[in-house]
Structure 1
């Protein structure tokens, strides 16, 4: 019951924050702090996505467009994802279906650093957007989380991928 209440609160807050816009955030944790990296180019796009028929979205994001609001953190993020060699992160919808109420279920393929993983993600509709969140791991993509200061500060393996897609009414 507690998890359902937390999910509803998260959905409402996230839905309000991401309402009527495109957005992709990667949220993570270190042993001393949290971080959030936002893809500003995607946030500023005016793209509207359709989930009707066979034409499901395929979102290609440039890793260098992510900003962690801290120059060193942004540089480390891009270096960790090897943006020089693998400049794009791709989110491709393979399947999409209506669930209960304003919820939808999707099978999404995430490609990062030439490693492809499929995830089941639940989306909620809020105004003119679909909002979803999925907990991933660096290790899912064969990435070793970065360490600083001889390992005294380290990034935890888990990440939350949160995204919102503007949709047609």
Structure 2
């Protein structure tokens, strides 16, 4: 259930902002994720589905973005999106508590997404974002296709499937082990981003 981005992805959103500049000098800016954005994690058990929604108002805006161009890629330095695990609402006290336990939130209260680089998908405004996601002290890299819409507010959307076991996470068993959570979870994000 580790959310995380589109996370994303979320972090991927930050990437598209940089496409507005085309020189190779290192650039620095800051962006704000708007209140119309959404980020949630979906999972399944052997009896039902669940969804944990991140409280968008809890983003620590503005987010600093530093990047430079390298060949046909934008390379980012120290560009991170931090998600506080206690800002997810799964729809009830018990499932929220289970979600926190799965993420080992007592020891690791944050999910960290580091934007590493983006590259434009040919003949589109869409990009591939290389993102490092840190959950429970373990970091994994993902290349995420991200859809970008550019109007007054930059809109970034994407999906990512991850495995709990990749982060050495295990869902708690309920009712003598009769209810189990699937290892695969999905992270969905739709982010509005404006330059500060």
TM-score range, shorter chain: 0.7 to 0.9
Size of the aligned set, in residue pairs, is 150
What is the TM-score normalised by the length of structure 2? 0.68
The answer to whether residue 125 in structure 2 is matched with residue 99 in structure 1 is no
RMSD between superposed Cα atoms in Å:
2.4
Q: Decide which structure has the larger Cα Rg and report it.
A: 2
Q: Render the CA deviation track for 1:75-97: whole Å, top value 9, x for unaligned.
A: 10011111111100011111111
1:85-164 equivalence runs, <5 A: 85-100=107-122, 101-127=124-150, 128-164=154-190
- Equivalent residue number for residue 191 of structure 2: 165
Q: Give secondary structure in 2 for the equivalent of 1:78.
A: helix
Higher relative contact order (Cα pairs below 8 Å, separated by 6+ residues): 2
- SS of the residue 1:151 aligns to: coil
Give the whole-Å Cα distance in 1 for the aligned partners of 2:134 and 2:39: 14
Deviation at 1:103, TM superposition (A): 1.4
SS at match of 2:108: coil
Unpaired runs of 5+ in structure 1?
A: 1-18
Q: State the shift of 1:22 in Å.
A: 3.5
Runs of 4+ in 1 over 4 A off after TM superposition: 45-52
Q: 1:48 to 1:87 in 2, by over 3 A?
A: closer
| Alpha-carbon distance, 1:51 to partner | 8.1
Partners of 1:31 and 1:124 lie apart in 2 by: 32
Partner residue in 2 for 1:84: 106
> How far apart are residue 57 of structure 1 and its match?
3.7
TM-score normalised over the length of structure 1:
0.78
